A and B are shown apart, each in its own frame.
Chain A
């Protein structure tokens, strides 16, 4: 099993990218703190942070791609990447779990309880309904977002993007390059379409339905859950787009394409979150 010529596990040389990333997050943290408190200088911190972060991401992933192309990543490295990506997705699942937990809590516990007789003294006229329409903290009236218009279309779009992605993957596995290029490209386009429609939906919600983060328990869970989901779609779509560019440059073959799979796993995760979101945020 083991002999003198064993492949060495790849340990990268010292790298400047991580600490550049640390500087970026520091600038972002400080900039964000200033910005939310209305201090103008904060904007520069944010901008600086974003620029440094982008620089770092390009540099770091550039190194990774070069190492991958030079054959540094063999089976054991590949297994590490697979484990790593799986655990990263698990952490994302738990992040969403916190927000879904908040949604379930307000719907099953806090809103019904605020509507009981004891609380009538506190908030006379409070009616425990969902979407919650009354309450001293809810200043403007609003309407809820129904499930069967745009959200249903978006569900279809995301689901088909999952299918096109898998189709592309089959293409990659069986060496059908045009199918890979076309399927993956289509997935990115569908992702972008989803995001576009989501932006349109937000505009509709804010301008016509009067919904905002400040629309009480309904508005906050709606925007926080769909908003974080949208950010993840954006990230996933960027990942897929980068993979697509790498496909065009011929970086992958049937055996060696972890980057493709990582982005695909991430995309499917985002897909599943959307389904749960569709059921609990839009529908029920």
Chain B
């Protein structure tokens, strides 16, 4: 860490007033403004969320009853694969990047992202990648059907859809690496004077560490899908024993990427919740420093646990034990975080606006997902549960009730600052309770299904699993319907919402609430001088210009 706080120096560049607000379509196509690019990311992520959601409903429709109803197994497998890929790379990750784009400069007092033009490229690479995935449904053989994990030898066999998927992954990888470089450099280099590392907001810390994880593992994913590509078309044998390779090698490299990837989708959520809980408890975050260390240790540990996804693939008992204990160890810093959030609420004067509801829902349900994770980490148990619906239940608790709920919380929380208007509190709360209910109806029964032995990624099932599956399908359709409420609320409030105050939340104390609402198009063109407390709390602000 080298804060170059003293690097601000006398003007060399005075003719700098030519930044007008661009208009028309080029405002979006050529955007260099972090707020515009952030909005693009968020809209893109939402549309991918809808697309991935429709695929999920196609899956749940098929699983409503035993027997084949709508799709052939091949198509069903394409749906599960693309659902996973699109939710991970199209919805959750871009949504977090979008929020980081929007909020980071405002929270640390930076004029924009460090590389504003590259920022545009990071975003605009996503639609082409999504388009490649879409096209893959139309080519002979259809889309990739090997699961989002693209395990060899499935992925070394399929048709052209797999190649399109591989190149889409390359492009999304380039996008997220550039996005991450931008986030890291902005945080390391563009903090306003006074905003030191051990004072800055948890969301900045979480984004920083997430970006580091992305830069460390996305190239590894690029490497492994490149090996799949050469195995498919250029005669290599990376994943083929006939030439000395090994399909298990694929799993090792993939999960070296894959486990950090799940934290890439979890850490920003932790950051968001670490602002919302203090705001609506009207108390500072409990244990800020330990939060920073917990986040860092999760990041380090996440590189040492990948083989817990491979307990049934065959490995020496000592390796199983190592990966089992290392995995359990991650529960410790995660536990520290949950403890700190609860400690923050303890004796706080709490109120329960929509962001807070989603944040509390996050804490409760993410913990459920964490607990099923610890269960899965026990090698002896995982051998029963691997590739069953129990795993599906586990990761939907951490990803839907975790990552997605935190995203909803964040969008409600910052909506006033972004748009200058309030959303409808009634429909926000309705959205929360509705989602909470149907989320659990959908995914809780999957624990039982998995324990009873129902395999995942199968379009048909034994009669004995019918009741829970029916329940899950009903839940899923209702959950999906509820997201339209969110969409309608956002669209309506964007135009007709009540005008918002500069600081609509009484307990909010970070920098973004110190400036006008909606945030000026160019905020902090000149860095303010700040007196900052832990978790980015602003005690005093001097100077700082916007236009």
Contact = CB atoms under 8 A, between A and B. Distances in A.
A215 to B, nearest CB: 8
Contact of B127 (A2, A22, A76): A22
Interface string A123-142: 10000000010011110000
Interface string A55-71: 00000100000000001
Contacts of A280: none
A8 B189 contact: no
B136 to A, nearest CB: 8
B237 A220 contact: yes
A99 B219 CA distance: 11
Interface in A11-66: 11-19, 21-23, 25-26, 28-30, 32-34, 36-37, 60
Contact of A135 (B115, B127, B135, B243): B243
A254 interface: no
A7 interface: yes
Given A11-B116, A14-B22, A212 B235 contact: yes
A109 to B, nearest CB: 7
Given A14-B32, A83-B189, A109 B246 contact: yes
Given A1-B5, A83-B189, A74 B12 contact: yes
Interface stretch (A86-94, A161-169, A199-207, A235-243): A86-94
Interface in B232-254: 232-238, 240-246, 248-249, 252-253
A105 B4 CA distance: 42
Contacts of B234: 213-214
A246 interface: no
Contacts of B215: 87, 90-91, 94
Contact of B128 (A6, A25, A138): A25
Interface string B14-35: 0010110010001101111000
Contacts of B217: 94
A19 B124 contact: yes
A29 B116 CA distance: 25
Interface stretch (B164-172, B402-410, B436-444, B489-497): B164-172
B190 interface: yes
A267 B181 CA distance: 20
Given A9-B110, A80-B115, A106-B249, A92 B219 contact: yes
A217 interface: yes
B520 interface: no
A181 B238 CA distance: 44
B7 A94 contact: no
Given A33-B163, A91-B219, A217-B244, A6 B115 contact: no
B220 A9 contact: no
A213 B237 CA distance: 9
Interface in A65-117: 71-72, 74-76, 79-80, 83-84, 87-88, 90-92, 94-95, 97-99, 101-102, 105-106, 109-111, 113-114
Determine the main DSSP class of B at the interface with A. Answer: helix
A91 B173 CA distance: 11
A1 B527 CA distance: 11
A111 B22 CA distance: 60
Contact of B7 (A79, A97, A99): A79
A79 B227 CA distance: 36
A38 to B, nearest CB: 9
B30 A14 contact: yes
Contact of B242 (A8, A19, A36, A136): A136
Interface string B236-275: 1110111111101100110010000000000000000000
A92 B222 CA distance: 11
A220 B164 contact: no
B132 A26 contact: yes
A237 to B, nearest CB: 22
A39 B199 CA distance: 56
Given A2-B529, A33-B164, A80-B185, A10 B245 contact: no
Contacts of A224: 227, 230, 236
A216 interface: yes
Contacts of A22: 121, 124-125, 127-128
Given A11-B116, A75-B7, A76-B8, A114 B241 contact: yes
10 contacts: A1-B529, A8-B11, A18-B124, A80-B115, A88-B177, A94-B220, A102-B238, A218-B244, A220-B236, A220-B243
Interface of B: 4-13, 16, 18-19, 22, 26-27, 29-32, 110-112, 114-118, 120-121, 124-125, 127-129, 131-132, 135, 159-160, 163-164, 167-168, 170-171, 174, 177, 180-181, 184-185, 188-190, 193, 215-220, 222-224, 227, 229-230, 232-238, 240-246, 248-249, 252-253, 256, 522, 525-527, 529, 543
